[in-house]
Structure 1
């Protein structure tokens, strides 16, 4: 039974004192028993957390009750347990690292395309329209929309440099997409800033599309940033597009190489993992510090004395 909820959300809204807000927000998340990653900046709030369904309902209502986040939209999934091991609430310069501090989506960003409209566009594939994936390689390698243009980037902060390769699309209608929508707010704004005139974005990203449009024509699985790593999305015409790094056979099972010095994040089938005992190559398998392969390909970092209250100025103790 799925008693837990997984929330994915963001909101671009001015936070005058991010450090003070972080302090209060961190403490409230602890009181509600939430785990996950939350980023706070002067430009807004970005998070993905898990918790008991009732506690997540309380959290969502309290965030929405704050006038700064009244129009925030939560993408809600279910899970049988927590999808995170820890809670981290941090202040950073941007709520998504884009190296575009001067781009303000509150002032200019691409218009929204709702999931059902996007589904129709995917079906029709009009010649004057291109679908642009603004995610990183390891994300779109495991799953992407049919006929989408992908970029060879390791991190979203590399996106501005890659825009130079898209000059030939300036006369097209460009629709960007990402996991939950946050990257597209800045990506579409930057494209407009660079002279692209007809720029739009999939509202709510892949996750909202999966909820409202059954994920149709999303090929592969959706990469998510929690312990699940990937999740099924397409309920209409699913297919596997990624291949096992070792065997070359179709596989959408994402793992890390058992060699901690490599730690390559790749698709690897159970068959492929058996060949080098969880490693991506024979060379890696011979490293004396190879981690024991338990069949999962997931290597949880040690807690190293993790204290959920670390960073709080108020030395609060657990109730």
Structure 2
């Protein structure tokens, strides 16, 4: 398949995000890339697609900025570009939580759990200390309906800004357990895990490194049921990171613009 799709994010201070927007847009237009790049003072969140050489050229140029030198986008391939246009925007947050005390660009992130470790823990039914493990889906309800981990906690939130309130309502559900928060590509569960760490849950809190898509890439998807909704015209990906051929669609499909991960 000729089209390379990438997604990535990084929480890093970007006081110059307005000027950076013009630079990144000009470069993407010159390479005929399509997708979405979101910038904020807290970092970058991107989804781009195009010919492989062009996509890699854009990423390599971005890495010349020391703040993005370690950026490692997740890659998948498709037969066609799954975006209609290019959108490069500056926003207040690269993923909206509406909780100003949560600033991953200024705080230590929660421990990141490798995909293989989560798969092993789910195989054995507990973590390496014998503590029960719960997987916490931080995505919106309609995304969860496409697929999720077996037995995952799903609070049926309709937008990520509802997550802190949901934690307060269900806090006892997490007490004393090893909590692994997850999302599509890692960005939401990075904020979510920091918030969870602040709640004194009497147990460790992790974020799944790279989210569901990295889990698919590195493990093949054991203990995951269904597909993973993605915010582009492919709609959902299976464990092989190809457009899902059989999709269990929610009854109400309130698809959002490609601005979350």
Q: Could you state the TM-score of these two structures normalised by the residue count of structure 2?
A: 0.88
Give 1:255 shift: 7.9
The answer to whether structure 1 residue 130 and structure 2 residue 129 are counterparts is: no
CA positional deviation for 1:135:
0.4
Q: How many residues align?
A: 246
1:232 aligned residue (235, 238, 257): 238
Are positions 1:214 and 2:209 aligned together? no
Structure 1 SS opposite 2:5: strand
| 1:145–1:218 contact (8 Å) kept in structure 2 | yes
What is the match of residue 182 of structure 1? 187
Alignment pair present for 1:95 and 2:99: no
Alignment of 1:83-122 (within 5 A): 83-106=82-105, 107-122=107-122
Structure 2 gaps of 5+ residues are 256-261
1:147 aligns with 2:151: yes
Note the aligned Cα RMSD (angstroms): 2.1
Is the partner of 2:170 in helix, strand or coil? helix
Correspondence for 1:265 among 242, 245, 253 = 253
Cα drift, residue 193 of structure 1: 1.7
Q: Is the 8 A contact 1:50 1:82 kept in 2?
A: yes
Q: Is 1:170 aligned to residue 158 of structure 2?
A: no
Large movers: runs of 4+ above 3 Å = 253-256
> Secondary structure of the residue that 2:134 maps to in structure 1?
strand
Distance 1:202 1:62 in 2: 28
- Which entry has the higher C-alpha Rg, 1 or 2? 1
Deviation of 1:218 (Å): 1.1
- Ranked by relative contact order (alpha carbons within 8 Å, sequence separation 6 or more), the top structure is 2
Alignment of 1:29-44 (within 5 A): 29-44=28-43
Deviation at 1:252, TM superposition (A): 2.3
For the 8 Å contact 2:145–2:250, the answer to whether it is kept is no
CA distance in 2, matches of 1:61, 1:218: 33
Using the size of structure 1 for normalisation, the TM-score is 0.73
Alignment counterpart, residue 203 of structure 1, candidates 205, 209, 217: 209
Residue 162 of structure 2: aligned partner: 158
Per-residue deviation, residues 155-187 of structure 1 (Å, max 9, x unmatched): 111101100133211211100000000001100
For structure 1, the residue ranges without an aligned partner over 5 or more in a row are: 241-250, 257-263, 267-297, 299-319
Deviation at 1:195, TM superposition (A): 2.1
2:259 equivalent in structure 1: none
Structure 2 counterpart of 1:28: 27
